Structure 1
Amino acid sequence: MDVRVERRLFTVEEYHRMAEAGILSEDDRVELIEGEIVEMSPIGSRHAGCVNRISHWFSQRVGRRAIVSVQNPIRLGRRSEPQPDVALLRPREDFYASEHPGAEDVLLIVEVAEHSAGYDRGVKVPLYARYGVVEVWVVDLLRGVVEVYRGPEGEGYREVRVVGRGEAIAPLQLPDLHVPVDQILGETS
């Protein structure tokens, strides 16, 4: 006997009401992906160190050209609110206090993956492409590389390349910021 199970998908507004009602707390490591509340992996020390290095490097160099947002929500449509590790956002006077940024506000998203590279590549990168995020970097700590995705098109990106140690990359929207991959990966990768 086949049993059909229907999923109950949530909107961003419902997701926020769950937090307001205490069903979800600020300490819950979850994000809303295509209507589903997804538990995020715990953050290991290598992952945290990499996020700290990236945010520190950008914070020292972007000045007023961008806001460096660390592990904060990006609203993508009615049913998704991922929390990328680092996002460079278009400057705004209120620093996005009145509403979370959307894809049009994003200059770059960086996802750091110690054990979640498959999820980031297979779920989050296509989600970002679908909503028009212009550029995504996936830092794969296990492989010691940065995957660069540019030019969203449908469920993917027109340009995909992998850069490693000894190379540097610059965000399309801030082309003068050449980030050494060694700086992103650190000494212990």
Structure 2
Amino acid sequence: MSMVLSDRVYTVEDYMKLDDGKRYELIGGELIVVPSPRPKHQRISGKIFNQIENFLKGTQLGEVYDAPIDVVLGEYIVQPDILFISQDRLDIIGELNIQGAPDLVIEILSPATAAYDKKKKSQLYFKHGVKEYWLVDPDQQLAEVFVAGEKEWRWVGVFDQEDVLTTDLLPGLEISLAEVFKGLKRE
């Protein structure tokens, strides 16, 4: 379970002063201590990140980043597991953090953060202009994909090891979920 520091309302300025070696996110004025990811989480994240990074080599489509990296969305700061920013929006990449919504955000669910990823962060990403949102569940070995609609996320579907993920944001990218989940035990 994540620990939430809600003894007062925290600001972006408060967050930027933190230097205790812990990972935090700032959501709704609350500091949320983000625990270190589990090995299964890191393995899946690494496989997805590597597939996107390898695909992007030699292209001018944009840049991909993995956690930990701060993304500032107004008065909120989050650390998505993986994010992609298109070439025409690279100006949101600052020296210390990302200043604005990435085009694609991928969160790998963990028991400590799943509720935030599915609700609060999902709402935050949509509100601030993320174009596509993937939720990857290591235990169920599923990926759920959402694209931004006019007033809310539009559910694209749930995908498993038999499927290949694609996105209009990266034409030609194919992420084999069989490869992503290969060697993992289903819980």
Unaligned runs of 5+ in 2: 1-5
Q: Deviations over 1:7-44 (max 9, x none)?
A: 6322222321x22xxxx33x202111122110113311
Cα 1:41–1:151 change in 2 (3 A) is: same
Unaligned runs of 5+ in 1: 1-5
Higher strand share: 2
Q: Deviations over 1:65-118 (max 9, x none)?
A: 2211111111111x2110000101123379532652311xx1211101132333
DSSP 3-state at the match of 2:73: coil
Name the residue aligned to 2:24: 30
Name the residue aligned to 1:3: none
Q: 1:56 aligns with which of 50, 56, 61?
A: 50
Cα 1:117–1:94 change in 2 (3 A) is: closer
Name the residue aligned to 1:85: 81
Q: Which deviates further from its counterpart, 86-95 or 137-146?
A: 86-95
Alignment of 1:1-189 (within 5 A): 8-16=8-16, 18-19=17-18, 24-25=19-20, 27-63=21-57, 64-71=60-67, 72-77=69-74, 79-91=75-87, 92=90, 96-97=94-95, 99-103=97-101, 106-115=102-111, 116-154=113-151, 156-189=152-185
Q: Which deviates further from its counterpart, 133-142 or 165-174?
A: 165-174
Aligned residues: 174
- The percent identity for this pair of structures is 25
Runs of 4+ in 1 over 4 A off after TM superposition: none
Counterpart contact for 2:71–2:97, Cα < 8 Å: no
Higher gyration radius (CA)? 1
Counterpart Cα distance in 1 of 2:157 and 2:178: 17
TM-score (norm 1): 0.81
Counterpart Cα distance in 2 of 1:134 and 1:182: 25
Counterpart Cα distance in 2 of 1:48 and 1:178: 20
TM-score (norm 2): 0.82
Counterpart contact for 1:32–1:80, Cα < 8 Å: yes
